[in-house]
Amino acid sequence: MTRTALFQPLALGPYTLAHRVVMAPLTRMRSTTPGNIPNPLNAQYYRQRATAGGLIICEASQILAQGQGVPASPGIHSPEQVAGWRGVTGAIHAEGGKAFLQLWHVGRISHPSHQPGGELPVAPSAIAAEGMAMTATFSREPFPQPRALLLEEIPALVASYERAARNAQAAGFDGVEIHCANGYLLEQFLQSRSNQRTDAYGGSIENRCRLPLEVVNAVASVWGPERVGIRLSPFGIANDSAEAEPLPLYTHLIGQLDRLGLAYLHLLEPRASGAGQREVDHQDVPSACELFRPLWQGRLITAGNFRGDSAEETIAQGLADAIAFGRLFISNPDLPRRLRLEAPLTPYNRATFYGGGPEGYTDYPRLG
C-alpha cells in the first residue's frame, strides 16, 4: 500500500503539520529527582524524534504534586520544571517540530509515597482501584483507598489545571492536551464505577461530565481552544476503568466538547487499552474512531496498535486525521521516515520503558 494519505499536510488549529504521524504521550520516568524536573537527556530523546512539521505530544505531566502517580514523572507546577521543559521544547523546535504537553492528574492511581506529606491520594469517591500501585521506590503495593475530594476543593483543582496551562506557555509549548483517559482523575469523575458522588459532580451523565468540561474551559481560557486537545479512552479498561455502557456517556461528552472548537480530539482505541503495562491486542472490541467520528466536526487523532498500512487505511477512509504512535516511536526515533519508506521497524524492549538512563531511551538507531 502506497502511503500517501499519511503524508499529506494537515491544518491543526493555527498550525500546519507536514504529515499525520504524531508521537503519542509516553510516560518514561526519567525526570531528575527530587523535583521531577525535565533534563538534558529528556531533551535529547525528544529531539531525536522531532521532525519538521511533525507533532509531538510530550509525556503526561502532573499539574500539581498531588497529581503524581509514578516515580520520576515530570511535573509542570514548579519554576524548575518549567525551565527543564524549556530545554525540551527548544530541542523540538530546533528540528522544526511542534510540541504539545499532556496535563495530568492521576487521582486514585497513586500511592502515599508520591503524595505531599504521605497523604492519601484523592478521587471523586473513596473507592480503591483494583491492582498494584508503583511506589516512589519502583516497588509494587495495592492501591490504597483514596480520599474523596470535598466539593469546596474542586475550584482549586480546576485552577491548578489553569496554572499548569500557563506554565506550559512559559515553557515554550505550542499547545496542551488534557488527559481524560486511562483511568486517571478526570476519567474517574466521568465513570460511574469510580464516581458515586451525590453532589453536582456525580450521579447523572451531565454531572459526571461537569469537571472535565470545567477543566477544558479553564485551559482554553489560557491557550484559546484552537491550541487545546483532549484525550479520551471511551472503551478503555486501564487502571481499573470502564463504564458499563460507555456510549451514552461519551456521546454526551463528545457532543459537548464538539461545540468548543478544540484543536483535536485524541482517542485511544480499545484494542490497545493497558498497552503500557503489557502486550495487548484486545479482540472483538469497537473502533473508537469509527463510532465517534460522526459526532466530531474537528480534527481527530486516534492511537492504538497501528502499523503503517493500518494507519494509512484509517486516514484514507476518513476515520481519523492523524495517527498517534507510542511504543513504535520509542524504538524508532525516525518513525515517520521509516513509515514513508516502508522500511523495517526496530522492535522495542519493554524492560527499559520505565526508569533508568540512556539504555532503551536515546540509544535506538536511526536508518542508515
Q: Which residues are catalytic?
A: 184
| Maximum separation of any 2 CA atoms in the chain, in Å | 60
DSSP-assigned states of every residue in 165-220: HHHHHHTT-SEEEEEE-TTSHHHHHHSTTT----STTSSSHHHHTHHHHHHHHHHH
Distance CA 356, CA 360 (A): 9
Distance CA 202, CA 255 (A): 19
- Answer yes or no: are the C-beta atoms of 37 and 74 closer than 8 Å: yes
Task: Give the cell for residue 9.
Answer: 499536510
Q: Which residues contact 155 (CB under 8 A, 6 or more apart)?
A: none
Distance CA 158, CA 233 (A): 21
* Amino acid code (one letter) for 58: C
Of 116, 20, 9, 64, the C-alpha closest to 325 is 20
Distance CA 195, CA 123 (A): 8
Length of the chain: 368
